[in-house]
Structure 1
């Protein structure tokens, strides 16, 4: 399949706004531009507004059952996680609060981290073979700080991060207009439009390569083989001079 055909790819967009549906979300407004590009290329896009679901705090796959002494009556994460892991592309969107990502974004990443003990059929960590980016909105400083935090977290979990994998918009350092407010200038910002387009297309290219390659290349990165004694040419500390 050529690099120009993305119609077999899938994406999941997780909006970590603090506002439940159907409240207007400025983060969703910016995410919608990336979604439009993906869908124009035939990509199937699943959209999740995380705050609409009960995502229990913790780092276990199911906080109702996996925690000794746990008393969570409801946890929607076991139903959400397969939707996220089924996608070639993950875009996580978050507003800025107090200069950082939202508490909802933190919880989503923590629950993804709770899956880090699971492995794929190559013995690699479960998120290998997928690519991810981040979209940030707000009316206070912190876009780059949030992007660094989120992208570091996602690559640590195994996602492949392409070049220019972040896009964002902030109004005048707060309080000020939000992205979709009339006259904010957000939707017209060439800087934000360019970064959103570059991020989305780089995610498409990376997902294409990963899908065509059958996942992230194996070799020296199998947790299963490491646990079985393989050391992948790492020097033995007992024989160092």
Structure 2
């Protein structure tokens, strides 16, 4: 073990941080979710470090399809997204988790990302996009290839919407390709897999470290990235010919 890191080093405390894990399984509660099994590894680590953690299965909520903050204003009779969005905004850390189907993210994951996108134009109290100052990560499970592809899609989407992505912000488990055991199935080896456990631990701590850094810094500095200022015609040091 390196001299600068010993078993006697005090563990950092992340008291005051809040995290939200959104499970994008296709299985409604109380059906067994293998994705939830891996989520719980990260959740337990966060809670032991002082983070307040909320979890939800998106499929348990009547989240409408669309890209507007409230789809009841666009023809849908019911839309649970406004309530879910309140939980999203309350969290310093957002982790999207889901299974692989046909080598890609689940339809539920895509719907959640679309609804996040539908609120990405909203601003925080500093005039930045609403998700600034928050960190994002993802957890992927399955028994077919595609974990890195799915993670790339989720992490790109989150950073494009304004989330900050720490290093190694994804973790996953895939079993033997083709029909075979899933993460929590007896004999799968999933919960004991060192590669998955290491990546889950690294992801979890990196999410907490970066969230704590952003909180201590008061979020992402607002100079040069405020939508409200840009719309008012101020361009900081950016020379825009349209506003000469």
Structure 1, residues 34-69: CA drift from partner, whole Å, max 9, x if none? 00100001111011111001110000111112x2xx
Q: Which residue of 2 aligns with 1:128?
A: 132
Q: Deviations over 1:193-237 (max 9, x none)?
A: 000000000000000011111111111100111111122222344
**Matches of 1:105 and 1:238 in 2, distance apart?**
39
Shift of residue 192, structure 1, vs aligned partner: 0.2
Structure 2: runs of 5+ lacking an equivalent: 1-9
Query: For the Cα contact (< 8 Å) 1:3–1:208, is it kept in 2?
Result: no
Q: Which residue of 1 aligns with 2:6?
A: none
TM-score of the pair, normalised by structure 2: 0.93
Once residues 150 and 31 of structure 2 are traced to their aligned partners in structure 1, the CA distance between those partners, rounded to angstroms, is 23
Among residues 173, 191, 202, which one is paired with 2:206 in the alignment?
202
Name 1:150's counterpart in structure 2: 154
Give the one of 83, 105, 108 matched to 2:109: 105
Q: Is 1:47 aligned to 2:91, yes or no?
A: no
Tell whether 2:18 aligns with 1:6. Answer: no
Residue 235 of structure 1 aligns with which residue? Answer: 239
**Paired residue for 2:96?**
92
Counterpart selection for 1:74 from 50, 72, 78: 78
Q: Distance in 1 between matches of 2:122 and 2:63?
A: 19
- CA distance, structure 2, for counterparts of residue 238 and residue 35 of structure 1: 49
The answer to whether residue 194 in structure 2 is matched with residue 190 in structure 1 is: yes
Other structure's SS at 2:239 match: coil
The structure 2 residue matched to 1:25, chosen from 25, 33, 39, is 33
* Counterpart check, 1:216 vs 2:223: no
Count residues in correspondence. Answer: 234
Quote the residue 1:137 is aligned against.
Answer: 141
The secondary structure found in structure 2 opposite 1:64 is helix
**What is the distance in 2 between the residues matched to 1:51 and 1:156?**
24
Tell me which stretches of 4 or more aligned residues in structure 1 moved more than 4 Å.
Answer: none
Of 208-217 and 162-171, deviating more is: 208-217
Residue 226 in structure 1 maps to residue 230 in structure 2: yes
